[in-house]
Structure 1
Amino acid sequence: MKFVIISLGVVGIGFLLRLIKQPHVIIYIITGVILGPSVTNIAGDSSLIDQLGSLGLVLLLFFIGMEISLPKLIANWKFSLTGTLIQILASVFAIWIIGYFLDWPLARVVTLGFVISLSSTAVVLRILEERNEMETRVGQNALGILLVQDVLIVPMMIILGYMSGGEIHAKDVVLQSVGALLIILFVIWLYKKGEIKLPFDKLLKNDHEIQVFFAFGLCFGFAAITGFFGLSTALGAFVAGMLVASSKTTECFHHSLYPLKVIFLALFFISVGLLIDLEFIWNNIGLISLLVGVVFITNNLITALTARMYKIPWGESFYLGALLSQIGEFSFVLGALAYGSGIIADFAYQVIISVISLTLLLSPFWIKVSSRLSRDKRVITGKKSNELQSNISDNS
């Protein structure tokens, strides 16, 4: 019955919001808010929705892996790595300045810096899909940074565990390092191989039902492997998608799994809406509004200035910064870890949840406004010359 109500809620709210041309991300989050404890509490226990929503994130990365260009992604690795590291260091430094005047301990400063430095893979890729910008340079750059962030979530968790006084097991560190090395070697092998042939290739092209189960097996099989090594399951799904793309059988898998991706990804955003506590936000509206504004402006500027280091035009740099300006879903994990280990108290944890949720909710509006303010829209939509498109590769 719960899922019937959720479905009807998405349809009803979606009909109203699509009349004013709002993206699906907004529809799903607002549906979660209305059905959550702050309004009607119809959804009740959200644990099942959270679990199904996490599957949507895994499927999303699987689809993106099927659609990206591996040569382009590897060609821009310097920008992706540099941009991510600068984002993290600058975020921690910005929080340190605030914490200096508020006398915050170092562990809290590092936690909050890590939290705001991560962008939302689900929101950014969903918006790029809706705008048909996945294959543009700004889309490829955003994707590269998001993937590096997914990898760096592991050392972030290790650092927070160490700062909380928790025990760090050498076995876990070695396992994660081995897993990361295996992924790098596998991606290099795919790159050098160029095109591969999947087993049962002819059967897959002609049997719709077998396609579904084979794709599911690849997607969640790779996710389970990276999970075993202590890495992001979404990262494993992305690698599985690249494997499918290398086999040139992307189209049949895309049609087979697309409806499932839509459903599970919608549940993920609805689960974000369920976390929003309107009463807490109202009681702390000044602090939360200030933090949301600081997050958007700071993250936007840091990414834009980093892109300018690689001589990307201001318009595209600013738009790229807007795409990555919100706080990501993996920040919920860091916040929960810090709360459970005693680095932050209950109030700080509620503030983190509120700020993350609101940046996810407001991100499409921020991106839309930023895209209009960008001074060179031809770069954003990928209509510049090939010479400009290859600018990063030349500078790398």
Structure 2
Amino acid sequence: MAETSLFQSFFLIFSGAALLATLALYGRQPLLVAYIALGVLLGPSVLGVVNNVQLLADMSTIGIIFLLFLLGLDMQPQALLSVIRKATFVGIVSCAVFLGLGYGLGQLFGFTTVESWVIGMAMMFSSTIIGIKLLPTTVLHHKHLGELMVGLLLFQDFVAIACLMILLSGSTGQVDFAQLGISFAALPLLVLVAWVIVKYVLLPLFTRFDRFHEYIFLLALGWCMGVAELAEILGLSREIGAFIAGITMATSRISQYIALSLKPLRDFFLILFFFSIGAQFKLAMVPEIAVPALITAAAVLAVKPLVFRLLLGNQSEQKVLAWDIGFRLGQISEFSLLIAFLATSQQLIGSGASHLIQATAILTFLVSSYIVVMNFPNPIAIKDELRRD
């Protein structure tokens, strides 16, 4: 089949997504279902009409970068430190439990020790995209629920960065602890440099040229991408760089205008992200990993809410609030997919383990989205009493 041009791919993705999203809304289904289903349908496993999937997947990661940049813009630095302190104990214990769960399941299904540890790593994290996108904006900004969720997700982001760096050093057969130490030492330096540049360069420019909206948009975009790339060079990740870029601008009066300007661009790339998840999944692997994936997904969906409920309950959180957070974080993460792809490229895991993680991610994305949309306040709720923007 001839190579599909980028424009043809965009036409198929966004026209198809508009059609399936319409059907999903009429059928009262989460839109994420439509995007992933479209990826499976148009990708190599079924029709094969979109064949530049890797390019689209690389582009779609920009959506995650924008998501974390906007998350940073919405958080005050003092609030962030307070939130992370509250979330650290829950984060450490929950990550340890989920790592053990994934390792045990990997051993149960006959994977190697290294593959089992990688599966365990993938189980540790919850989806930032689903957690934040299904959380009402008013709750995200002003409520204790939003603060706790953001704190837990940010703690998981730091753990995920450590896991990604461990995997990147895995091709040598040994963990490069020196590089790991350098990367984490670079984190406060990056925050300091970003803060200085914002205070003495960006804010004066915003103040002087605030009438030129196109320039404000361009400067914010360049800042986000620049700090993200600098973080990557320092051995962190583009995602954490984007968050630092956002939070160093959070106290400026122009931060909310920038956030509103970038949201449509973020949504554009997030549609690509969920499409690429479906498109990269090989249906031919289903017979081999169907039973392990179903059992693993069921274990994640059952254990994660319970663990968060118990841990948050021990911290004197209200029972209803603890269950709410547990179900909102009751899936594995887009970081889990990055771990699967990276571990495969480093030849640490085989195709079976990689597709087990991918299938578990898709299943938990879908089922946990249904649970939240049907039972908790969210912006796309089917019941009017649960819809909160």
Interval containing the TM-score (normalised by the shorter chain): 0.7 to 0.9
- What corresponds to 2:237 in structure 1? 232
Structure 1 CA distance for aligned equivalents of residues 108 and 285 of structure 2? 25
1:18 is matched with which residue? 25
Of 134, 137, 140, which aligns to 2:140?
A: 134
The 3 A distance-change label for structure 1 pair 164 and 256 is: closer
Asked if 2 retains the 8 angstrom alpha-carbon contact of 1:197 and 1:247, the reply is no
Change in 2 beyond 3 A, CA 1:22/1:76: same
C-alpha deviations, 1:247-288, integer Å up to 9, x for none? 111232134322211211211111112123334335543322
Partner of 1:107: 114
Q: Distance in 2 between matches of 1:173 and 1:96?
A: 23
Tell me the alpha carbon deviations over residues 40-95 of structure 1, each in whole angstroms, 9 at most, x when there is no partner: 22211211211211111111111111122433322222232222211221112224
User: Does 1:148 find its partner at 2:155?
Assistant: yes
Q: Select 1:326's aligned residue among 327, 331, 347.
A: 331
2-structure distance, mates of 1:82, 1:183: 25
The answer as to whether partners of 2:206 and 2:216 remain within 8 angstroms in 1 is no
In structure 1, what is the Cα distance between the partners aligned to 2:101 and 2:176? 31
Once the two structures are superposed, residues 315-354 of structure 1 have per-residue CA deviations (whole angstroms, 9 ceiling, x without a partner) of 1111111111111111122223333444432222221221
Once residues 232 and 107 of structure 2 are traced to their aligned partners in structure 1, the CA distance between those partners, rounded to angstroms, is: 37
Q: Which amino acid aligns with 1:150?
A: D
Instruction: Give the corresponding residue for 2:63.
Output: 56
2:1 maps to 1:6: no
Structure-2 separation of matches of 1:45 and 1:345:
23
Per-residue CA distance 1:218-251 (angstroms, 9 max, x = gap)? 1111111211111121111112112222111123
My pick for the range that moved more, 217-226 or 334-343, is: 334-343
Which of 29, 40, 54 is the matching residue for 1:47? 54
| CA-to-aligned-CA distance 1:163-215 (integer Å, 9 cap, x gap) | 7762444652343022223256679x79xx99x98122334431111012101
5 Å-filtered alignment, 1:114-133, equals: 114-129=121-136, 132-133=138-139
User: How do residues 264-279 of structure 1 correspond to structure 2 at under 5 angstroms?
Assistant: 264-279=269-284
Distance 1:294 1:204, change over 3 A: farther
Deviation per CA, 1:365-388: give whole Å up to 9, x if none. 13235538xxxxxxx999xxxxxx
Cα deviations by residue, 1:127-153 (Å, 9 ceiling, x for unpaired): 115x64312222221111111111122
CA distance in 1, matches of 2:163, 2:62: 23
Q: Are the counterparts in 2 of residues 32 and 270 from structure 1 also a CA contact under 8 Å? A: yes
- The alignment's TM-score, normalised by the length of structure 2, stands at 0.85
Alignment coverage as a number of residue pairs: 371
Matched, 1:300 2:305: yes
Partner of 2:5: none
Q: Supply the distance in 2 between the matched residues of 1:335 and 1:91 (Cα, whole angstroms).
A: 16
Shift of 1:8: 0.8
Q: Retained in 2: the 8 A contact 1:84–1:148?
A: yes
Aligned residues of 1:161 and 1:167 also touching (Cα < 8 A): no
**1:202 counterpart (181, 190, 207):** 207
The answer to which of 113-122 and 157-166 deviates more is 157-166
> Bigger shift: 10-19 or 253-262?
253-262
Counterpart mapping for 1:235-246 below 5 A: 235-246=240-251
Report the alpha carbon displacement of residue 295 of structure 1 after superposing the two structures with TM: 1.2
After alignment, is 280-289 or 244-253 more displaced?
A: 280-289
Q: Which runs of 5+ in 2 are unaligned?
A: 1-7, 378-385
Deviates more, 1:82-91 or 1:352-361: 352-361
Partner in structure 2 of residue 316 of structure 1? 321
User: What's 2:183 paired with?
Assistant: 176
When residues 277 and 293 of structure 1 are mapped into structure 2, their CA distance, relative to the original with a 3 A threshold, is: same
CA distance in 1, matches of 2:202, 2:60: 32
Contact in 1 for aligned 2:83/2:151 (Cα 8 Å): yes
Root-mean-square deviation (CA), in Å? Answer: 3.0
State the AA in 1 paired with 2:300.
Answer: V
User: Is 1:2–1:43's contact at 8 Å kept on the other side of the alignment?
Assistant: yes
Identical counterparts, % of pairs:
25
How many Å separate the matches in 1 of 2:11 and 2:347? 39
Given the superposition, is the C-alpha separation of residues 170 and 209 from structure 1 closer, same or farther in structure 2, using an over 3 Å criterion?
A: same
Distance verdict in 2 for CA 1:173–1:31, change over 3 Å: same
1:28 aligns with 2:40: no
Q: Structure 1: any 5+ residue segments left out of the alignment?
A: 373-379, 383-396
Counterpart AA for 1:362: V
- 1:160 offset after TM fit, Å? 4.5
User: SS in structure 2 opposite 1:198?
Assistant: helix
Contact 1:211 1:252 in 2 (8 A): no
Aligned twin of 2:94:
87
Residue in 2 aligned with 1:358?
363
